[in-house]
Structure 1
Amino acid sequence: MSQQAQLRIPATYLRGGTSKGVFFLRDELPEAAQVPGPARDALLLRVIGSPDPYAKQIDGMGGATSSTSKTVIISHSEQPDHDVDYLFGQVSIDSPFVDWSGNCGNLSAAVGPFAIEKGLVPAERLPRDGIAEVRIWQANIAKTIIARVPMCEGRVQETGDFALDGVTFPAAEVAVAFRDPAAGEGSMFPTGNVVDTLEVPESVVAGGRIQATLINAGIPTIFVAARDLGYQGTELQEAINADGEALARLETLRAHGALRMGLIQELGEAARRQHTPKVAFVAPPVDHVVSSGREIRADEIDVLIRAVSMGKLHHAMMGTAAVAIAAAAAVPGTLVNLAAGGGADAQSGAGQTGSARDSVCFGHPSGTLRVGASAHRQSPSGQVSDGQQGEGEWTVSEAVMSRSARILMEGWVRVPAETLMR
């Protein structure tokens, strides 16, 4: 029986923030995979090594976690005043689908360096030394991201002394600004409220009702108080991920939140939309120990946050969820804002208003991260006002955080030719 040679596709493996992914130039993909559809999804699944019933992705480039089962497609931008279009695919580990419903904030930090290395940014816009601004169109959510990439002697600077909790080695700092980060075309708060009472099964919480902040910023996210779930906000991965009942509770909560946010039309759809929304639980700061064994003092942070991604507690924090945290912290009265000290009793959001803040340092399982955003109200007439007394919907013009990025390997990835023939 004759055998076909494997397809050989140019690819680059990059770390961005606390994630890793396989990057492709769209025009270097096989023709059938240059457009959205089953051929593209089949190719990316095979590259990463999914679906894998063993949940190891041994026969692919994935790392068997939500942070490392990622793909990116980059092309010259079709949008005015942008350098590149960035399309992100979150590859399911054990199911045969690629979720295109949201962005990866961590890998956003790697898009700028990759674009410069591949010659997609005009040379006249690149300083020999200093900071290059790469204008990125995030195609999944139709938003602009500005990556500020350090340059040294005409090349991207990748090494440096910027430390990022969740990443073992220091590297060069890449500042990433998310413009108008409210996801999609809807309101930042899709229900119109900064806190909702969400009805859920009693298997999630006694009484079947839980307060939640439902926000579309960076990525759709459901924030709840840790104590309402019986948690402290200091939990590490093994405390949640080794508990099947806990994961089931959190997934049920996520599905009901997605329905309330209008992201799905019936609960069963949540299983086919694993990437969005995220669910996270928040708590006021306390002294605690992170996964590296380092002790974090309560006065080093403003709030504790743990987030679930693709059905597992994240080892650090998703970049897009960090944007949601920044936006929520900036708006008085959200559960994030209140847990960060925005109310008289930070333990509970009931009946409180909180106060605005333009940055927050939060604790996550691997350490801490500071993010910033400024919020304002915009009335239907276009008038902008700050603070509690304004009218209209809350908006955030920009959210900013620092990450780092590094090319780990470049060359070709190989997949069986039959991948595109199914």
Structure 2
Amino acid sequence: MTQTGIPFIFMRGGTSRGPYFNRADLPGDRETLAEVLMAAIGAGHAINIDGIGGGVAVTTKVAMLSPSEDNWADVDYFFAQVSVADRLVDFKPTCGNILAGVGPAAIEMGLITPTGDETEVKIRAVNTGARVVARVQTPGGVLRYDGDTEIAGVPGAAAPISLSFMGVVGSSTGAFLPTGHLRDTFDGIEVTCMDVAMPMVIARAGDFGLTGYETVEELDANRDFFARMEAVRLKAGAAMGMGDVSQSVTPKFGLLAPAREGGTICTRYFMPWTTHPSMAVTGSQCLASCALTPGTVADGLLERPIKGPANVVLEHASGTIEVLVDFDLTDRFTLNSAGLLRTARKLADGHLYVPASVMKGH
């Protein structure tokens, strides 16, 4: 036999997609694991022709699940971002959209037993240590995918999955403001460096000569902007204590502009070398926190609520996403929790095949 089959579930989670594995079915060491995931996705080719990736960063994501080693949680969720055209795997970040599929996938894998009409799944995001409570629809003890909940960036409707994020402040860098400042300037661009669910570098679109309302295609075609943005991101990453981030997808980058469709603020999110077609769940929490914090680059772009909880509506490239933020401004901005509503759908299951030589006898 020249190939090895690995059990998997292929799922859409939020506005992302990828294989969900049982961690026990994969190699334990990171180097071999990275080779297996690159083979599965088909990394190193623009359209991932030799794997199941979809040729864009939101379709080359991987979730690996296992019974939790944390007494609080039910399931450990280990995430990997596999590159499209490069042979790279980044284990540093997490993904909130893929996380939306963790509850259903854990039930499908038998890691979780449904408990009535709604099943609560406590999830530990291994990459960042964040704790998340997912509530999955299981009427009569049966996992349900159909429903009437719609999210921007996904056609049709599906069953709602509510996500409550806790302990996400400083999840990657250990600090809400990793540089210690509400604002920093790199290459003449003023930014806010913030770590809430995802470490981010956030700037005003106007400071790059943009409106903030550009389409994904318009932004991706603007390579001068990407070159300037990447230069700022690299310097900001170092200032955030993250070292050389040239080969890492974190920190992510975000742009802000005044809302124009009735939302709270307009945003664009980058992955970071392409424009996100909609919005990352983790990024939405960081952008919402930046919008609510006095003194950040969001000043003057919105009318801030003075007390929480607040429903922050982020306008993005394909619609809106709502983040329910429980916060306090008594002394300074303090995030208690952030909640979002997502959907997920099982697309396929079975075995995903990789060359036997890649598994190295696992």
TM tier, shorter chain? over 0.9
* Residues 265, 291 of structure 2: 8 Å contact kept: no
* Residues 330, 374 of structure 1: 8 Å contact kept: no
Which one of the candidate residues 177, 189, 193 is aligned to 1:210?
189
Mapping of residues 11-410 of structure 1, within 5 Å: 11-29=8-26, 33=27, 35-52=28-45, 55-122=46-113, 126-127=115-116, 129=117, 131-182=118-169, 183-184=171-172, 186-194=174-182, 196-200=183-187, 209-264=188-243, 269-273=244-248, 275-286=249-260, 298=261, 300-336=262-298, 338-342=300-304, 355=306, 358-376=310-328, 386-387=329-330, 390=331, 394-410=333-349
1:356 shift after superposition: 5.2
Give the percent of matched residue pairs that are identical in Structure 1 and Structure 2: 32
Q: 1:8 to 1:304 in 2, by over 3 A?
A: same
1:145 shift after superposition: 0.8
- In 1: Cα distance, 2:230 partner to 2:180 partner: 24
Return the TM-score normalized by structure 2: 0.95
**Structure 1, unaligned stretches of length 5 or more?**
201-208, 287-297, 343-353, 377-385
* Residues 285, 304 of structure 1: 8 Å contact kept: yes
Deviations 1:263-306 (A, max 9, x none): 11xxxx22211x211111101112xxxxxxxxxxx3x2111000
- In 2: Cα distance, 1:336 partner to 1:91 partner: 31
1:239 shift after superposition: 0.5
1:374 shift after superposition: 2.4
Q: 1:315 to 1:326 in 2, by over 3 A?
A: same
- In 2: Cα distance, 1:86 partner to 1:99 partner: 15
- In 2: Cα distance, 1:108 partner to 1:79 partner: 17
Deviations 1:6-53 (A, max 9, x none): 101101111011000111001123xxx1x132110000000000122x
- In 2: Cα distance, 1:262 partner to 1:395 partner: 22
> Any idea what SS the aligned residue of 2:155 has?
coil
1:215 shift after superposition: 0.6
- In 1: Cα distance, 2:279 partner to 2:104 partner: 21
- In 2: Cα distance, 1:327 partner to 1:133 partner: 26
> Any idea what SS the aligned residue of 1:156 has?
coil
Deviations 1:179-233 (A, max 9, x none): 0211236111112222x13222xxxxxxxx2221111001001110111111111
Deviations 1:38-92 (A, max 9, x none): 110000000000122xx11011011111101111110001110211100000001
Report what 2:2 is aligned to: 5
Q: 1:65 to 1:356 in 2, by over 3 A?
A: farther
> Any idea what SS the aligned residue of 1:253 has?
helix
* Residues 162, 342 of structure 2: 8 Å contact kept: yes
Q: 1:185 to 1:285 in 2, by over 3 A?
A: closer
Runs (4+) of structure 1 exceeding 6 A deviation are: none
- In 1: Cα distance, 2:357 partner to 2:337 partner: 44
> Any idea what SS the aligned residue of 2:58 has?
coil
